[in-house]
Structure 1
């Protein structure tokens, strides 16, 4: 064998494999005809460099101006189509909802989710599980007065935890996250946990860390070979560890519901689902989608979607109010005008608090907590506005393009709750406020989230005045963009209000 071949380790078979692989990747990034327009692609990597070094929301805004409301990109050899603007999203995901309501296959975290749950599933499984879950949640009081009892308990716990800080600076993230998480726990497991419960703390930390890690696996959706690279660049090992912590905790709670007589009497989601599993087993239902792993998947989604977005929105609200003390004072004056100091707020009080409602809508608009929803996919090749959308294409609804659209909102970068008030001071509800998205995949817990945002924020502002520590620069309002858009960590000071 020639010396050069020994040194280079030359092997004709591996050379052929390399050439074929490169050819396949290159062909995979060649745009077929009739796709939505988009920037030119590079062999192998597609348009990945287009998103380098900037806020994806701003980059998409520039691409929209150049290519229109529907444009296409390639990340590796995976086709991604981005939908922009309210009318486009409404047409695609409401009018043509049946064509665009599936989930793309081949995502990195499928290895852990197994496409279980309501958010991650598609097709008939999604329809059956969503219908059942929504029915049970409504029976448990979702959107009704009975749900207020669960939320009020956590509001009081949250206020007590804030009061315990004694006016010293602190990061409110943990308090809010635990309180909102306990609402979901009460709904799911029929019980709550103390803020300092070590097992629950470990569980919540794993959920929170897993959310960040899933956001960091995005490149793996488009370059799956990265998971085989040394050093675990996608952090899949850590993700697996956190996933096990989360699933073990939920499995334990489900097991307790099958053995503990007291928990078996609880009015909660786990009991309702276990009863459905047993019913379908008794009836020998073929091809049932009701089984233990599906229940675990749904509960994980409840905690991830039902905690992260609401808690993050509340943190953005407090940050904006600290930066705009005149708006905080206006909201507090409205509260003082109608309610005594010891009055426990209820959802029926919203009609007396139009500014508070406008404030919450403005926070949801400007915070832009879920800029791109969850990726959709067409189950079959579909036509839309004269474009061909191949099956299993990743579809991104750009919610941010609506919430920050200068054609819809004058000065969209300004925090101005008054934009949602009419000339008589009443609430003006704009259909373009879509933080929970729209269509068939609209957030299952929208009504619960609305209740939590109102009861938590109004109660906090009724009890405390919030400000940032003096002498410290305010956090960067660009935030941290992953699956959700979260504020940078910040310290806050809560001063009890002496008068109302």
Structure 2
């Protein structure tokens, strides 16, 4: 009886899908879509690579597929991504359940409409006021580097996993901007919060089962429920930590010194003017702070961990970077131990190497905040795009596109240099921070951190991996979740002078 009922329901569901099927969609993958599950079983461990293969098989830079029953339009070409992401119709964020449940459409990452416009502008202005181009932010970054170097020196060349030190230091930089305070490397509570952030980036993804089928969160079996319970627990603790710092902040401010001060100042202005539609409420503040805290920590940390992997794999390039830095510093900065931002223009090969690390590291995946959603039905490249489709920009495909990066499988910083060894403008296909209005608001800060961390690490230390040589292999030594990140590894550091 039950078998007959299930068969009838399945047939009716298939008929419904056939009737409902959208016309003139971009081509789909050669893999079959399974009823209810879509193409989830075919995505594999690294969806961005699978999607690129599907596009290549179809000889199309735009395809469609299904995450469960959610239609996903995949863009594997820079021109298509630019065309879509510069169009306000594609400006909405995809709202997968696991993020909507915690952010509730607030903050800087998953907000939409007027709220997003207001707080994006506020965040950018505040970043400029307290961060971008300011010497004190550079001093904050270098202070964190000094603490990290002290911790490394205490190891006396014993192997260590650099991940924790990097994440803690970068989190502290965000804390300085957001909260006006930093936390000691011995602060156990802060260390715990940082570890939760690290863990979240391995637990969550747009294509995870719980995101596609929210009811699975009620299933007691972890194999079906997935990482939802732990992911949710981590987020709640991170929010609680941010809320405590906000509540402990002094509201009686004469001069603003951080993001919270500036936010509370604007909230008071709205309150005094009886602005009934003000969005400067406490939930928005806590969610925005959490977005900054999470987004500004793990992504830069992951890029720097890729940096060590590529330098270990390419010792001649590492030697070239060290020679450029040593030559410049010895001739111009004899008494200055640290490289500063004003030195960047004199270190073109070093800067080109950072660009190539970003290109090859390809940390932005479909699991981060890269998926968009179109507000109205439209067409793109001659195909129909139904309203509220998920728009997935495959940045990985852009960064291995031979049209922009010949011999893209090779690690070659000179692709960013002219013949006279000066940096060129970044090729159009190079978009590590996305493009358009919803590109990463912290791009300038991240670039500042990457330059100061990378150049000073390379100047201060020689290093080698403790893992077996065959394990440190950038082609296979990584996993994909909210970011594309290398597996954990240990390094031994030795002072160069």
Normalization by structure 1: what TM-score?
0.91
Partners of 2:250 and 2:197 in 1: CA distance: 24
The alpha carbon displacement at 1:22 in A equals 7.5
- The 1:251–1:64 alpha-carbon spacing in structure 2 relative to 1, beyond 3 Å, is same
Structure 2 counterparts to residues 126-165 of structure 1, below 5 A = 126-165=116-155
Match for 2:47 among 29, 40, 56? Answer: 56
Match for 1:74 among 53, 66, 79? Answer: 66
8 Å Cα contact 2:67-2:207 kept in structure 1 = no
8 Å Cα contact 1:22-1:44 kept in structure 2 = no
- The 1:26–1:490 alpha-carbon spacing in structure 2 relative to 1, beyond 3 Å, is farther
| 1:380-421 deviations in Å (ceiling 9; x for gaps) | 212222222122211100111111112221221111112211
Partners of 1:22 and 1:224 in 2: CA distance: 24
Match for 1:92 among 80, 84, 104? Answer: 84
The alpha carbon displacement at 1:344 in A equals 2.4
8 Å Cα contact 1:46-1:76 kept in structure 2 = yes
Partners of 1:288 and 1:403 in 2: CA distance: 41
8 Å Cα contact 1:79-1:394 kept in structure 2 = yes
The alpha carbon displacement at 1:350 in A equals 0.8
Match for 1:268 among 254, 258, 271? Answer: 258
- The 1:28–1:152 alpha-carbon spacing in structure 2 relative to 1, beyond 3 Å, is farther
- Give me the CA root mean square deviation: 2.3
SS in 2 for 1:440: coil
Aligned to 1:27: 16
The alpha carbon displacement at 1:24 in A equals 4.8
Moved more, 337-346 or 124-133: 337-346
Aligned to 2:338: 344
The alpha carbon displacement at 1:154 in A equals 1.1
5+ long unaligned stretches in structure 2: none
8 Å Cα contact 1:103-1:377 kept in structure 2 = yes
| 1:472-492 deviations in Å (ceiling 9; x for gaps) | 543342311011011011111
Partners of 1:217 and 1:55 in 2: CA distance: 11
SS in 1 for 2:384: strand
Match for 2:383 among 378, 384, 387? Answer: 387
The alpha carbon displacement at 1:295 in A equals 0.8
| Alignment of 1:435 onto 2:432 | yes
Aligned to 1:236: 228
| Alignment of 1:182 onto 2:172 | yes
- The 1:26–1:295 alpha-carbon spacing in structure 2 relative to 1, beyond 3 Å, is farther
Aligned to 1:401: 397
The alpha carbon displacement at 1:212 in A equals 2.2
SS in 2 for 1:480: strand
Moved more, 66-75 or 462-471: 462-471
SS in 1 for 2:463: strand
Structure 2 counterparts to residues 227-376 of structure 1, below 5 A = 227-232=217-222, 233-258=225-250, 267-339=257-329, 340=334, 342-372=336-366, 374-376=370-372
| 1:93-128 deviations in Å (ceiling 9; x for gaps) | 12xx20111012453221111121111111111111
Normalization by structure 2: what TM-score?
0.91
- The 1:35–1:143 alpha-carbon spacing in structure 2 relative to 1, beyond 3 Å, is farther
The alpha carbon displacement at 1:224 in A equals 2.7
The alpha carbon displacement at 1:333 in A equals 0.8
The alpha carbon displacement at 1:434 in A equals 0.7
The alpha carbon displacement at 1:280 in A equals 1.3
Partners of 2:205 and 2:468 in 1: CA distance: 33
